[in-house]
Amino acid sequence: MTRDEIREVIEAMLETGFLEPTRTRPYEEARANITFYALDRDREEVKVALETS
């Protein structure tokens, strides 16, 4: 996939709620929080997709 295609997929996953943003420090000494995205594994659609892969 191209970088633009990957960006489109991630944006679509954010819009549909498949990815949940979390702001946290990656390690204790970090000066700033960073936004990480976690897959919402509790959604039925995600469970089904993970089972079939």
Contacts of 8 (CB under 8 A, 6+ apart): none
Under DSSP, is residue 34 helix (H, G, I), strand (E, B) or coil? strand
**pLDDT tens per residue across span 6-46:** 999 999 999 999 998 889 998 889 999 999 999 998 999 88
From CA 40, how far away is CA 17, in angstroms rounded? 8
Judged against a pLDDT cut of 90, whether residue 53 lies above it is answered with no
> 25, 46, 23, 18: which is closest to 36 by C-alpha?
23
Q: What's the whole-model pTM score? A: 0.63
- Residue 15 is predicted with a pLDDT of 93
- Residue 6 is predicted with a pLDDT of 93
> 9, 8, 15, 17: which is closest to 40 by C-alpha?
17
